[in-house]
Amino acid sequence: MSSPHRVPIYSANPPEKLVKRHHTTRYYVHRVQESLTTRISKLVCSIFLSLLLILGIITFILWLSLRPHRPRVHIHNFSVPGLSQENGFENAQISFNVTLRNANEHIGMYYDAMDGSVFYRDQKIGSKLLLASLYQQPKTTTIITDVLSGATLTVTSQRWMEFLNDRAAGSVTFRLDLASTIRFKVSTWTSKRHRMHASCPVSVGADGSILPLSKDKRCPVYFT
């Protein structure tokens, strides 16, 4: 018995891999345009990011070079001449010498009126106007020397006895405070006003002269 004759069956939809695709010229032109647009966009982005990076580096360098530094205040001398005398309060006076340094390379400083105050045990015992106004050039130092006495220094006999008790223990500690309003000046630009305070703890010995541990000491400076 003969086997039946098998007739091959052809699919109406041949496999996709056997189909040869034909694209029009317009398709290839569109692909080329898309490729060029993508490359141009990447190039523009790269240039923009590079310029942004360079600008950021330049800004950072300028900020480092022009960043305002706080004034540097050092106390060099502080004395209470009558401290060696029991009744020295009758002619009590306090003299001091401090330096004000503008350490900036390219930045000037305007100071409005500067006040100086002396504290003992956190209580003010004297104050005085030290400067009416001042413009300080970059890299310059200003010397401030003054004396508190009479109406600018309030020391009673009771307060003087407290001084003497501390003197007997080895030293008397005071605090000299400087306060002013300052502005920074770069070329023609001037900053807003900043309230500056400098706090200078200082100790004097039995003779009323500044002790070595306080001499030429840098005073903390802060803004409010």
CA distance 2 to 213: 125
- Judged by DSSP in three states, 56 sits in helix
User: What is residue 46's predicted lDDT score, i.e. its pLDDT?
Assistant: 84
User: What is residue 2's predicted lDDT score, i.e. its pLDDT?
Assistant: 53
pLDDT in tens, 35-64: 767 777 777 888 888 888 888 776 665 555
Other C-beta atoms lying within 10 Å of the C-beta of residue 209: 16
User: What is residue 5's predicted lDDT score, i.e. its pLDDT?
Assistant: 56
Identify any residues that bridge with 158 across adjacent strands, giving them in sequence order: none
CB 109 within 8 A of CB 100: no
Q: What share of the chain is helix, strand, coil (3-state, %, to 5)?
A: 30, 40, 30
CA distance 1 to 5: 12
Q: Is the pTM of this model over 0.95?
A: no
Q: Would you say how long the chain is, in residues?
A: 224
Could you state, in order of their start, the residue ranges of all structural domains in the chain?
14-67, 72-223
CATH code 2.40.160 for 72-223:
no
CA distance 143 to 137: 14
- Across the chain, what does the average pLDDT equal? 85
Whether the predicted pLDDT of 89 surpasses 60? yes
What kind and span of H or E run contains 179? strand 172-186
Please give the single-letter amino acid code of residue 182: I
Tokens of 39: 């490359």
What does the pLDDT average to over 72-87? 91
pLDDT in tens, 203-219: 999 999 999 999 999 99
CB 166 within 8 A of CB 208: no
Whether the predicted pLDDT of 183 surpasses 60? yes
Tokens of 100: 């004000």
CA distance 159 to 104: 42
Sorting pLDDT into bands at 50, 70 and 90, what band is 123?
A: very high
